[in-house]
Structure 1
Amino acid sequence: MTQVEGAVFYDRSSWGRIQVSDADRLNFLHNQSTNTFNLRKPGEGCDTVFVTSTARTIDLATAYILEDSVILLVSPGLTEKLMKFLDRYIFFADKVKLADITAETQTVSVLGSKSHDIVKELGAAELIAQPYGTHCLVDGIRIAVGSGLATEGYTLISDRAIDLTSKLKDLGATEIDDQAWNQLRVEQGRPMPGTELTDDYNPLEAGLWHTISWNKGCYIGQETIARLDAYNGVKQNLWGIKLNQAVEPGTVVSIADEKVGKITSVVDSIGLAYIRTKAGGAGLQTDLGEIVALPYLTREKQN
């Protein structure tokens, strides 16, 4: 796996930002996604998954709890879809407001072993070693723990009037492009909509157990997820695969001419693939290469 030495940053401004406000915002999000919200305090954050009523994945999002609102960082191209999805569940008496703030804001992720030094220089040293999603506002920049990948780092959100790129370069960080980010996300196993997160898969299959609260009550898709867990119903799992040949997404993974899975993403000699649970997991030898565990993916209850 590519290690991120020093500090690099990636412009995620193409990712969507939805502001959820008004008095019922936390209870509303608590009831619409996989993680817990109703007891969270300003300055906290978490990853959560929005799913259909049958627990098919719509998007993996990051939520930041503010004093009077919640900012949802969502995948590129999914803002409108998620806004419509959420709006369907706002009823007449609900005090919930949705706003697309993508155009007036920007998001940058800082990754690597020196990312802590960057954050210290920005004036947010108190965030170092804090839990994932913890955030604060410094000089108009909201700085949050977590890079969006398994690599240590931080996510910055601000108005577009602030020149984050120049500021980070002045502090010694190097910018990476879409290709480099995608390589990191495949090597680490972060699933994305359109490839690993589709109507064909649920969050358990996608290795997103860390985004699921098992202690809260009903939410959209909860019954299906609970049933899959209770009856060991996860029929396939997302894994890494060390490829022994060049392949394209969609390629079938086989063992002795028996189909056991399908490739979803490829970068160089590593890919992501859904593999049938009964076929096995890490260490499994297939016609396309060895199945390997990746750091972003989880397969056990986290809370």
Structure 2
Amino acid sequence: MNQELRQLQIQVGATFDPDATVPSSFGNDKDALRALQDSAVLCDRAHWGLIEVRDRDRLQFLHNQTTNDLKSLQPGQGDDTVFVTSTARTIDLATVYVTEDSVLLLVSPEQTQPLLDWLDRYLFPMDRVKLKDLSEEFAIFSLMGAKSAELLASMGVGEIPQQPEGSHQLVQLENMEVRIAVGSGLALPGYTLLIPEDRAATLWNRAIEAGAVPMGDRVWEQLRVQQGRPARDRELTDNYNPLEAGLWQAISFTKGCYIGQETIARLNTYKGVKQRLWGIRLAAPVPPGTTITLDERKVGTLTSHSETEEGAFGLGYVRTQAGGAGLKVKVGEVDGELVAVPFLTHEYYVPPIKE
């Protein structure tokens, strides 16, 4: 834990849950939500993991282990991809950043070592691949909000060109070298910042001085649920596959073989997705794990819940035959309504050909 950064955060109101490595709140949750609309917020994601993959076969190796077409990525590009089992059950949703001499994997909290072990299982003696845990060497921040680009410019980064999600560049900010990637980790405008741990406090302080509103993990979790980003041990478990989880944007159906590819291809070809993840507007709070019913018949399970300014909201898997957006259901004894959420996609997207 970076004690210098922690002290800076405490000075601006941070409180920490027991055993937490990032602030749960800054006592400003409502202000942080408003700042997303007209300013920018800064969120510490130090509990997420960062894995470095190096050597000659790095990109081919990852291409063969995950769902997306990584082999076509060039340095400075990135994308989301999903680690799945041989039967296409989800392990984790990761973000890939390709550099000139390595690939960086941003992975979910508490998934660094499990994924390192997973990848090591598929390394053969002839593979030229080296894996390293960089989680303790780098800080990870999300800068999100309508004016996040303007805030970066005011810090001296210079104008950041409009680039696709996952694009990234190494910039010099005063005496700091920061990797700035397009994408906040949610379906909200913003950037992911990767910086050496010994410069994290300086960057945090600089961003706050420039006007960023600090945001705790409690608000991140609320936004995650409202946006529909599936989380490990909630929506990403061995009970579900990435098609059901709404992660079609992180899957290539043309790349060829990878772990779990046959199952995913078969589900897509034969329209075999029997359940899918939905947002659920709730009349009252309901704990995750509660059964979702339609006409007293079980059609799904609630996987996440959050309190929002508009009321209770959840995520849950519901059988496709039951219906879609607007469907009225019961979640336990509570009324619920299925709603679409912006992070998820449920069909194959073919980008237009550029002339």
Superposed pair shares fold, TM > 0.5 = yes
User: Matches of residues 15-164 of structure 1 in structure 2 within 5 Å?
Assistant: 15-139=48-172, 140-162=177-199, 163=201, 164=203
Structure 2 residue aligned with 1:277, among 307, 317, 320? 320
Question: 2:123 and 2:59 mapped to 1: Cα distance?
Answer: 13
Distance 1:127 1:46, change over 3 A: farther
- Provide the rounded CA distance (Å) in 2 between the counterparts of 1:84 and 1:76: 15
- 1:186 aligns with 225
SS in 2 for 1:278: helix
Pairing 1:144-223 to 2, within 5 Å after superposition: 144-162=181-199, 163=201, 164-223=203-262
Instruction: Letter of the 2:89 partner, please give it.
Output: R
The residue identity in structure 2 corresponding to 1:279 is A
Distance 1:123 1:193 in 2: 36
TM-score by length of 2: 0.83
Question: In the TM superposition, what whole-angstrom CA distance separates every residue of 1:95-150 from its partner, at most 9, and x where no partner exists?
Answer: 00000010111100011101111232345455342100110111210000000000
The answer as to whether partners of 2:155 and 2:206 remain within 8 angstroms in 1 is no
| Alpha-carbon distance between aligned partners in 2 of 1:216 and 1:125, rounded to the nearest angstrom | 37
User: Could you list the per-position Cα deviations for residues 232-285 of structure 1 after superposition, in whole angstroms to 9, with x for gaps in the alignment?
Assistant: 110100000000122100011111111111100000211001000100110101
CA separation in 2, counterparts of 1:55 and 1:122? 44
Number of residues of Structure 1 aligned to a counterpart in Structure 2: 302
Deviations 1:80-108 (A, max 9, x none): 00001001111111100000010111100
Q: CA deviation at 1:37?
A: 1.4
Overall identity of the aligned pairs, in %: 55
Aligned mates of 1:123, 1:300 — CA distance in 2: 40
* Alignment CA distance shift 1:134-1:125 (3 Å): farther
Tell me, in whole angstroms, the C-alpha distance in 2 between the residues paired with 1:244 and 1:148.
Answer: 28
- The CA distance in 1 between the partners of 2:261 and 2:187, in whole Å, is 26
For 1:147 and 1:156, locate their aligned partners in 2 and report how far apart those are by CA, in whole Å.
9
Which runs of no fewer than 5 residues in structure 2 stay unpaired? 1-32, 351-355
Match of 2:287 in 1: 248
Tell me the distance in 2 between the aligned counterparts of 1:126 and 1:21. 30
**Counterpart residue identity of residue 301, structure 1:** Y
Question: Could you tell me whether the CA contact under 8 Å between 1:127 and 1:145 is conserved in 2?
Answer: no
Give the whole-Å Cα distance in 2 for the aligned partners of 1:72 and 1:251.
33
1:135 to 1:124, Cα distance in 2 relative to 1, 3 A = farther
Q: Name the SS for the 1:118 alignment partner.
A: helix
Matched, 1:296 2:335: no
Distance 2:61 2:156 in 1: 33
Tell me how far apart the structure 1 counterparts of residues 83 and 129 of structure 2 sit (CA, whole Å).
Answer: 17
SS of the residue aligned with 1:259? strand
Q: 1:110–1:155: 8 Å Cα contact kept in structure 2?
A: yes
Q: Distance in 1 between matches of 2:248 and 2:158?
A: 30
Secondary structure of the 1:119 match is helix
Q: Hey, what does 1:224 align to over in structure 2? A: 263
Structure 1 unaligned segments of length 5 or more: list them: none
Partners of 1:134 and 1:203 lie apart in 2 by: 23
C-alpha separation in 2, matches of 1:220 and 1:124: 40
Q: Contact conserved, 1:188 with 1:294, CA < 8 A, in 2?
A: yes
Work out the CA distance in 1 between the residues paired with 2:295 and 2:168. Answer: 50
- 1:234 to 1:125, Cα distance in 2 relative to 1, 3 A: farther
3-state DSSP of counterpart to 1:161: helix
SS of corresponding position for 2:105: strand
